[in-house]
Amino acid sequence: MENQKFEVKGTFLNGLEWAPYTKIIAAPNAKQATERTFAVIGSKHNL
């Protein structure tokens, strides 16, 4: 199965304010794109 590019958008708590983020992720489907986004963010911020 070929990977597609997905744009994952969301918000995170930055101090006292919510800030938006956008990530472009290659994945075979939308669910895996979301999971990969959380994995990347979590690994970069030790969550």
Confidence grade of residue 45 (pLDDT, cut at 50, 70, 90): confident
pLDDT at 1 exceeding the cut of 70: no
Element (H, E) at 25: strand 17-27
Number of domains in the chain: 1
Residue 42 pLDDT > 90: no
Cα separation, 5 vs 2, in Å, equals: 10
Domain carrying residue 28: 4-44
pLDDT at 44: 84
Q: Which two tokens stand for residue 16?
A: 């006292």
Number of H helices, E strands in the chain: 1, 2
Looking at residue 14, what DSSP letter applies? E
